[in-house]
A and B are shown apart, each in its own frame.
Chain A
Amino acid sequence: DTGVSQDPRHKITKRGQNVTFRCDPISEHNRLYWYRQTLGQGPEFLTYFQNEAQLEKSRLLSDRFSAERPKGSFSTLEIQRTEQGDSAMYLCASSSGQISYEQYFGPGTRLTVT
């Protein structure tokens, strides 16, 4: 399977704990995006990487959130001191930057904060 992969698929954590998610993009894609989706809403943009450089961050990305893409391949999204409001589906997408910038999504990590 050469699509976008994410790990873990599900995460249940207690409020105040730290969590880290991983995304592996499609191998030839140099652009990587993180989005968050809550029930009944469309995904909302969080942050964007081109190769290893983080070029844009949403206002949604509070100081508790940090993302990295150290070698321009996989990316991690860490949430520190989780809150119940962080419960959501965290989606990763990748793009080659061609073909009208089409983005392809991974299966997501569903986070539940208790």
Chain B
Amino acid sequence: RKEVEQDPGPFNVPEGATVAFNCTYSNSASQSFFWYRQDCRKEPKLLMSVYSSGNEDGRFTAQLNRASQYISLLIRDSKLSDSATYLCVVNEGGFQKLVFGTGTRLLVSP
């Protein structure tokens, strides 16, 4: 079983749509959780940290369910510029190495 699992997609949505990505992780000792965004042939960029209480940043909302070891990302009012790969990332404590999922590809069309 992979440590962090994501649906690879692609998710094809029209502009203005709402889209949700889900992710599960296997290590119950994981301490911190993140969503990163990666454009083609570029480095991953931190989109947001994910807190137990859930958090929102503009059109983006992240949720964490520790009991189910499940993380989600909701994007409202999708823009063309949201087209990218979204990486679910877990920090496994200790020396804080990040464990990445394989990413979910999002394509937003006009």
Using CB atoms and an 8 Å cutoff, list the residues of chain A in contact with chain B: 31, 33, 35, 40-45, 48, 50, 55-56, 58, 91, 93, 95, 97, 99-108, 110
Contact = CB atoms under 8 A, between A and B. Distances in A.
A67 B96 CA distance: 18
Interface string B76-108: 000000000001010100111111111100000
Contacts, number: 58
Interface residues of B, number: 24
Interface of B: 4, 31-32, 34, 41-46, 49, 87, 89, 91, 94-103
A102 B102 contact: no
Contacts of A45: 97-99
Interface of B is mostly: strand
Nearest to B51: A100
A41 B94 CA distance: 24
A33 B43 CA distance: 14
